[in-house]
Amino acid sequence: MLRAAEVGENSIVLRKLCAPVLQEVEPVGRWFEAYVSRSRKNVSLSNSEPDERSEENNEDKKESSSSSSDSEDERYLLTLDPKEWKDQDHYKIIGLKNRRYRATEDDIKRAYRKMVLKHHPDKSHSRKSKMHLDAVQEYFTCITKAGEILMNRGKRRAYDSIDPTFDNFVPPVNPNSKINFYQVFGPVFETNSRWSNKLPVPGLGDEDSTFEDVDEFYKFWYDFDSWREFSYLDEEEKEKGESRDERRWMEKQNRAMRQKRKKEETTRLRTLVDNCYACDPRLKKFREEEKERKVAERKAKEEAARLAAEEQEKKKQEALEAERLLREKEEQEAKEKAQAAKKEKDKLKNALKKEKKIIRTTCKEHNYFSKDEKDLVEKMELTEKLLETLSLDRLQDLKESFKQNNKDNISNLFLEEISKLKEQLVLEDEKAVKAVQERKISKETGGDTSSSSLWSEDEHELLIKAVKLFPAGTNSRWEVIAEYINHHSKGNAVKTSKHVIKKVKELQKFDTTQMEKANKNAFAKFDKTLAAPSASTPSTSNPTERYDNGTSSAATQTTPAAERSWKTEEQKLLENALRKYPSSTPERWDKIAEEVPGRTKKECMRRYKDLVEMVKAKKSVAAKSNKS
């Protein structure tokens, strides 16, 4: 039924309807067969299984797909230009646009052979009547070029690297988005995994992935090793260069562009991984779990520290209590010992007092065995001194002797004891006088012993040599000289700066002949070592031992005593020459002597040794001062 006309609409009759006709239709063909099969299985067309539908329509699909594919490939081939072969889809040309990089070498060979047989100019007689022979030749050239590239492993790899169907899309970072992270980033990483040199490539995983799996995934992709290269896009064809220089320039330009594209590809992959890392919800979960774990560990450590502190405090209190008890016990024992000692002391004191009283009374009864008034006073004083010096046992023996003897024997015993006391007092007085004299002598000499016992002959020589080595103006001169003497001396007495100053003052009082003699003796051993160096123990560390035997007789007869003093200019020239000619230089000292006018080889070597000794002494003094 037709709907009723609306307001303002008009019905228009174009023609009359024809009368219905009854027509018989015979059900045949594959569609009817499929309908019968579905009816028997009691399934509709929408609910039928894919496998069944594919089985039913397999032949039809093949025919339709092949026909549609042939027509599509035919149209694509007609649009090709052999000169623009770099911009063409070679997989589509040979009919493998769906397989692409997954196609095997056999697939490529079969597809290429099929296209050659189908589109070869000599085989396409029907086409020659419809199009010009040149057009046929052009797209056949494109088929040949596609086969040449895809059947060559290196060229195919280069073409696969810039596959025009590959999607370089990188999902952006959008933390507020509610998109499914795994559905967005998973396919992208799966697509980009085709470029990896390392296999297998770990997948993105899901929300149940462990921390180790996620960490391994990001480690792999942050260190991604891609085989993708861009030589296929080289703008300059090196084979077309007319000369070697031009071909080199082309290669240089191509290499620069490859590196630029490779860098852009690396940046793209890194951006992809960074965006994935920023959006990954698992990392937030792992960070929260790690934070909770650290908080739990910290609380456990704090609890353990608190328990340990309580245990330590408890042990400390116990130790303090034990120490207090021990101290109280020791104090009590010391107090008891002190009381016992006091009692013993009081007992001894009372016993001494008693014995002294008895002896004093006995002596008083015999008037101290004196002859006159003067003798009485002296013996009274000696008696008191005797009683103070005698021990308790001696006082008891003396008391018993007084009791058992008569007056004459007691007098002899008393006088004998008095004479012994006098002798002891005389000895004590002599010791006191001697000690006073020794203190007076020590005060006058500044606490030092005599110079003859403190300084040996070798030390005299070392002192004179050190005074020349370290002239006035040297920092901490006397300490340096003392350290030099202590280092080279074989004696046991240690010299201080006071000893050195005092000895130098004594030497300054000598006459000229004595000073010259001491000067010569100071450098006698040094000259002997220079004149006859030991051949059995060569050493390159000491410059004087590298001195050769070709020194002139005049130079060898020169002693440090007669050596001229070094001026500032000569010292600078010597230092510059030492830096200029290191120890490995052949005939080093001959060359150094040439750099210092007016100085011989021997003088330069002697001066170098003096400088070395000076530096060693200063370092030793500085080290001792730092320690102190």
* Residue with the larger pLDDT of the pair 563 and 561: 563
Mean pLDDT (whole number) for 563-576:
81
* Residue with the larger pLDDT of the pair 212 and 365: 212
Hey, do 457-517 and 586-627 end up sharing a CATH topology, with the first three levels equal?
yes
What phi and psi values does residue 584 have, to the nearest 5 degrees?
A: -80, -5
Q: What is the DSSP letter of 84?
A: G
* Residue 136 token pair: 């046929």
- Per-residue HEC secondary structure of 353-383 comes to HHHHHHHHHHHHHCHHHCCCHHHHHHHHHHH
For the chain, percent of residues with pLDDT exceeding 90 = 11
Band (pLDDT 50/70/90 cuts) for residue 558 is very low
Torsional sign, CA 549, 552, 556, 561 = negative
What's the CATH class of domain 586-627? mainly alpha
Task: Read off the pLDDT of residues 84-104 as tens digits, 9 standing for 90 and up.
Answer: 778 788 888 888 888 888 888
**In the CATH scheme, what is the homologous superfamily, with its name and number, of domain 68-161?**
DnaJ domain (1.10.287.110)
* Mean per-residue pLDDT over the chain, rounded: 77
Task: Read off the pLDDT of residues 273-324 as tens digits, 9 standing for 90 and up.
Answer: 999 988 888 888 899 999 999 999 999 999 999 999 999 999 999 999 999 9
Band (pLDDT 50/70/90 cuts) for residue 129 is very low
Q: Where are the domains of the chain?
A: 68-161, 175-279, 301-441, 457-517, 586-627
For residue 550, what pLDDT is reported? 35
200 preceded by cis ω (within 30°)?
A: yes
Task: Read off the pLDDT of residues 390-421 as tens digits, 9 standing for 90 and up.
Answer: 787 877 777 777 777 777 777 777 778 788 88
What phi and psi values does residue 196 have, to the nearest 5 degrees?
A: -75, 135
DSSP one-letter string for 415-480: HHHHHHHHHHHHHHHHHHHHHHHHHHHHHHTTT---HHHH--HHHHHHHHHHHHHS-TT-TTHHHH
For the chain, percent of residues with pLDDT exceeding 70 = 76
- The CATH architecture assigned to 457-517 reads Orthogonal Bundle (1.10)
| Closest C-alpha among 363, 421, 419 to residue 390 | 421
Task: Read off the pLDDT of residues 29-80 as tens digits, 9 standing for 90 and up.
Answer: 777 777 777 777 766 655 554 444 445 455 454 445 555 556 666 677 767 7
Contact of 577 with 608, CB cutoff 8 Å: no
Distance of CA 393 to CAs 253, 356, 387, 425, 469, Å? 123, 12, 12, 21, 70
